[in-house]
Amino acid sequence: MPRIAVLGLGRFGYTLATELAARKAEVIAVDHSPTIVEQIKDNVDLAVRLDATDELALRSQKIDEVDIAIVAIGGNFESALLATTILNSLEIPQIICRARTKFHAEIFKRIGASQVIQPEKQAGEEMARKLALPHLRDLIPLEEGFSLIELDAPGSFVGKSLLELKLRETYNLNLVGIRNMPVKDEDAEDGEGIDEAPRIMSVPKPHDIINSGDTLYIVGPDARLAQLPRE
């Protein structure tokens, strides 16, 4: 498992550090608050109180040897920038920064961040997608404005073939997979005639029928995905 340093233990950083540790990553949690460090120390491999903008202090805790450093300092943009600059000079393989705004995100990228995340923005976008598409199970961003989604088959799709749905013509979307619910043989005894696990159809055919309970895997532009039926 990777060795990860989380710098800044606000709500986001604290949750991230504890979740990573729960998943067996080796986590070094860093914050200037003795109270927060005391609270998290039993949940991570190492919790230290230090100034994340002090290069010597970071080196003293072997932060320069981690695989990934996450700058989760949310309240002080200047400190977050300085910490990122120092981490970059330490040649950390991967530096992930939390940004509050798009402008801040651009600056982090310019000074050496490998990846920038905006938790508040992403949480808002995810909630919007779920409200717009109640059947949505999961979403995987592929690139800016383009995603793969997993969703329960909308009622208006049930009983229709891919040819009838015309997803590409109507929505400019591609159905790339269907997970079918097990189908019971009407002539079988109770408990019999059902597959032990759902069947994956990795390459749906034009005449395949969408059934109630099917899970669809659809890829395309986010704007088009948002136009899929809600029910």
Output the DSSP codes for the chain.
--EEEEE--SHHHHHHHHHHHHTT-EEEEEES-HHHHHHHTTTSSEEEE--TT-HHHHHHTTGGG-SEEEE---S-HHHHHHHHHHHHHTT-SEEEEE-SSHHHHHHHHHTT-SEEE-HHHHHHHHHHHHHH-TTEEEEEEEETTEEEEEEEPPGGGTT-BHHHH-HHHHHS-EEEEEEEPP---TTSPTT-S--SSPEEESS--TTPBP-TT-EEEEEEEHHHHTTS---
Q: Could you give the angle at which helices 102-110 and 77-89 cross, rounded to 10 degrees?
A: 20
Whether the model pTM is above 0.75:
no
The vertex-105 CA angle with 140 and 16, nearest 5°, equals 60
Determine the pLDDT at residue 198: 53
174-180 and 215-221 beta bridge pairing: antiparallel
Determine the pLDDT at residue 136: 74
Determine the pLDDT at residue 89: 95
Q: Which domains does the chain have, with CATH numbers?
A: 3-117 (3.40.50.720), 125-225 (3.30.70.1450)
Q: Distance between CA atoms of 70 and 7, rounded to whole angstroms?
A: 6
Neighbouring CB atoms inside 10 A of 151's CB total 19
The vertex-103 CA angle with 94 and 15, nearest 5°, equals 50
Residues in the chain: 231
Query: Residue 35 contacts by C-beta under 8 Å, 6 or more apart in sequence?
Result: none
Q: Distance between CA atoms of 8 and 51, rounded to whole angstroms?
A: 10
* Full pLDDT tens readout for the chain, 231 residues: 789 999 999 999 999 999 999 999 999 999 999 999 999 999 999 999 999 999 999 999 999 999 999 999 978 899 999 999 999 999 999 999 999 888 999 999 999 999 999 887 777 777 776 666 667 777 777 877 788 888 888 888 999 998 998 888 888 998 888 888 655 555 545 555 544 555 666 578 888 888 888 888 989 888 888 888 876
Determine the pLDDT at residue 37: 96
Tokens of 208: 């395949």
